A = this chain, B = another copy of it.
C-alpha cells in the first residue's frame, strides 16, 4: 500500500540534495547579514549572491557548460568562495588547486583534469605560466584594473540552476597530494557535499553568529566543505588570503572570530604574535598532528578551544571530531592525552571502522592496531579518469584509509601510524614516495628513503636518508639544490643524511628504523 504511485516522490516533496540550496536559503533569510569579509570589503549575502551570479554569467560567456572542469589557483578570496556556488550552479565541476604547488605539478593536474579554464591571480601567475589551459587572472584588488574584476559595476548576471540533474552528480574535483606517485583526482558529489557540510555544521556548531576565519585554504577539500557549511549556517566568511600571523591576530580581534581551522603549525605562528587574549571564545579545529600539551595550554590562555579532527581528501575532509568536555581541574597532560585521539564520527559519516587484515573489526580495547576504514555518503565518487584505482579504493564496501589506529572502548579512534608513508608538514600532506622519486633521478644516488621527522613548528618535516652510488660523491647542499628545482617547498627534505640504509632480509628499506633514528636525532637537538 505504501508503494503506490501516488506516494512516489514528486516535485513538492523531493529535492536533489545540493549545497546550492544553502546559498538559496541564505539569500532568502540572511540577505542583509555579512557573508564575506576580505581586507576592507564586506559583502552581505545579497551582495555575495550578486558576485556568484556575475561569475556564473562570466563563466558561461567563456563557453563553460555542464560537465566542464573549471580550475582555480587562488588564495582565500571572495571569488574563490563564489566559485563554490557559481561553478556547480551552472552544472560545471570545480577544481581548486593548491597554490603551493610548483608549475609542473599544477600543469599535471590541469592536464589530467582536462580543465577548460584556469582562474588565478597576480600571486599565482608565475605558477601557471606554462599550462596549456586557457588562463585568466583576477584583479589584485577591486578596482585595481590589473585583471578580471567581478566587483565592477554593471556586470551581467546569470541565475544558478536550482539543482543538478541528479544529486550524485559531480560538484568538485580535488587532487590528492600524490601519496603513491602522481596526484589522483578525487570526485565529490552534490549529495556528499550537502551532507558533509551539514555534518560539519553540527560537529563544529556553526550558526548565523559564526564568524569563520579562513586560515584553512579553501583549496583543501573545498575547505573541508566549510565553504558550504558556513554558508548553510548563515555565518560570515572572513577571508585570509595569505598566512600572515599579525593579520590573523588582527582579524581575530577586529571581526570577533568564533571559529577557525588549521594545522598546528599555523597555531604556533599565531602564538608568536598574539599577546592579548581574544575577546571571545574561539573554537579551533585542527588535524594532521596531535595538539601538544604546550600548544593546548597556551591556546587556552588566549581564549581558544581546540578540537581535533581527522579525515582525508577522499572523505571530503574530516569524518571524525574529538571535542571532549573535561571536568574542571583536569590536568593538562591528561587533557592533551585525550585530545590526541581523533575522536568520534560525524552524524553524516556512514561508518568508521578499525579493521584487521581480514576485514574484521578489532576489539575496542585501545590497544589492538588496525586500519581505519570508512563508508557512507561522504566518501568520494571515485578517482577521475582512473577506474582501476577507483575499483581498488571503493570495490570492497569500505574505503581503507591506510591509517593505522586503535579503537578505544568509548568508540573513539586514535591514529598510531600512517601506513602509506604520508608526511604532514604544516598541514600539507605529501608522500615520501614522491620525494624519493625525485631523489632517485639524481645521478649519484643509489637509494633514497624519505621519512617524517617530528618538528616542533611544522608537525613533521621530510628527512632523506641517502645511499650514494659507489664511486660517486655528493653532499647535502647539492641535494638541496637539486630538490629545489623539482619540489614545492613544503615537500623538500630538511635534512639529508648520507650512509648505508638499514634493510630487511629481502632488501626492503626499514623505514621504521629510519623514523626511529630521525626521532632520536630530533630529541637530541
Residues of chain A having any CB pair with chain B under 8 Å: 1-4, 6-15, 17, 21-22, 24-25, 28-32, 67, 93, 114, 168-170, 187, 192, 198, 201-202, 205, 207, 209, 232-233, 325, 344-345, 347-348, 350-351, 375-377, 379-382, 384-385, 387, 390-391, 393-399, 409-412
Assembled-state Cα–Cα distance A21/B345 (Å): 12
The reply to whether A198 and B202 contact each other, CB–CB distance below 8 Å, is: yes
**Chain B neighbourhood of A397, CB < 8 A:** 11-12
10 tightest A-B CB contacts, nearest first? A29-B411, A6-B387, A13-B379, A2-B170, A12-B394, A29-B344, A7-B382, A7-B381, A15-B350, A11-B397
23 A-B pairs with CB atoms under 8 Å apart are: A1-B114, A2-B170, A2-B381, A6-B382, A8-B381, A9-B381, A12-B379, A12-B393, A12-B396, A12-B398, A12-B399, A13-B380, A13-B394, A17-B377, A21-B350, A24-B351, A25-B345, A25-B347, A30-B411, A32-B410, A198-B348, A202-B202, A233-B347
Q: Distance (Å) between the CB of A477 and the closest chain B CB?
A: 45
Assembled-state Cα–Cα distance A412/B29 (Å): 7
The reply to whether B345 and A15 contact each other, CB–CB distance below 8 Å, is: no
Assembled-state Cα–Cα distance A466/B9 (Å): 44
Q: Which residue of B lies closest to A165 (CB)?
A: B3
**Chain B neighbourhood of A382, CB < 8 A:** 6-7, 13
**Chain B neighbourhood of A350, CB < 8 A:** 15, 21
Assembled-state Cα–Cα distance A392/B412 (Å): 49
The reply to whether B375 and A13 contact each other, CB–CB distance below 8 Å, is: yes
**Chain B neighbourhood of A409, CB < 8 A:** 32
Q: Distance (Å) between the CB of A29 and the closest chain B CB?
A: 4
Q: Which residue of B lies closest to A2 (CB)?
A: B170
Q: Distance (Å) between the CB of A117 and the closest chain B CB?
A: 16
The reply to whether A375 and B15 contact each other, CB–CB distance below 8 Å, is: yes
